[in-house]
């Protein structure tokens, strides 16, 4: 698809501020993941224990579903897709506020709640991808749709194979879940490989190149 007429400033690659904020987000999620893993497994927080690789998965999707869309909204070159990104981010912020309250205040969250929203958002991502004039954003939403389908599969596994005395929100690092945790490791590695390639194009390309099909 040919690039839309834009200003010289908008033709430049993503700025240093966006790059710095991305690295800051990755660092904060990594540090937060270490703290969360220790707290969830040692402080008897609601939801049960959690495997380290599941914390890595959580940090990965938090980056993809919250921090990346926020940074995309800051990039003036992506102004024509801000509406699409805003719809997605608004949907995810609504999920976070409701889900956290259900998990840690009301204690009534159930895996089917997560599965239902995952499937809804996977469909939403495919719709948003179909409406994007930029190939970079189309690829983002298509990959996000896949991640939501993967997340729904993880939630389904937890629904049928993880039990505890109280509410269970995570898969613990137990031997019986070894295969699921191995699959999670592979998915996390593949997602980070994609993130590196996608961000490399985002940061180094002009809008004209971001618009190519």
The pair of structure tokens assigned to 127 is 């719709």
Angstrom distance (rounded) from CA 128 to CA 194? 19
Report the b/e string of 153-174 with b at 16+ CB within 10 A.
ebbebbeeebeeeeebbbbbbe
pLDDT (0 to 100) of residue 97: 97
pLDDT tens over the chain, length 213 residues: 444 433 334 446 668 899 999 999 999 999 999 999 999 999 777 889 999 999 999 999 999 999 999 999 999 999 999 999 999 999 999 999 999 999 989 989 999 999 999 999 999 999 999 999 999 999 999 999 999 999 999 999 999 999 876 788 999 999 999 999 999 999 999 999 999 999 999 998 776 777 755
pLDDT (0 to 100) of residue 211: 74
**Residues 168, 47: contact at Cβ < 8 Å?**
yes
Residues 6+ apart with CB under 8 A from 77: 6, 10, 11, 12, 14, 206, 207, 210
Angstrom distance (rounded) from CA 99 to CA 113? 9
DSSP string, 125-191: HHHHHHH-SSHHHHHHHHHHHHHHHHHHHHHHHHHHH---SS-B-S----GGGHHHHHHHHHHHHHH
pLDDT (0 to 100) of residue 66: 98
pTM score: 0.91
Angstrom distance (rounded) from CA 102 to CA 73? 29
Angstrom distance (rounded) from CA 126 to CA 66? 17
């Amino acid at each position: 698809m040919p690039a839309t007429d834009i200003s010289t400033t908008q033709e430049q690659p993503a700025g240093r501020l966006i790059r710095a904020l991305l690295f800051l987000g990755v660092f904060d999620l990594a540090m937060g993941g270490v703290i969360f893993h220790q707290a969830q497994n040692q402080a008897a927080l609601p939801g049960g224990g959690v495997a380290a690789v599941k914390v890595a998965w959580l940090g990965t999707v938090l980056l993809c579903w919250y921090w990346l869309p926020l940074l995309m909204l800051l990039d003036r070159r992506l102004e024509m897709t801000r509406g699409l990104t805003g719809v997605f981010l608004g949907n995810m912020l609504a999920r976070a506020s409701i889900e956290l309250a259900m998990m840690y205040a009301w204690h009534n969250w159930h895996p089917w709640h997560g599965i239902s929203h995952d499937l809804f958002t996977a469909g939403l991502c495919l719709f948003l991808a179909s409406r994007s004039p930029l190939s970079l954003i189309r690829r983002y939403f298509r990959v996000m749709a896949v991640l939501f389908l993967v997340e729904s599969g993880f939630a389904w596994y937890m629904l049928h194979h993880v039990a505890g005395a109280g509410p269970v929100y995570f898969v613990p690092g137990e031997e019986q879940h070894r295969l699921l945790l191995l699959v999670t490791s592979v998915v996390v590695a593949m997602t980070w490989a994609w993130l590196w390639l996608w961000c490399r194009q985002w940061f180094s390309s002009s809008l004209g190149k971001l618009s190519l099909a």
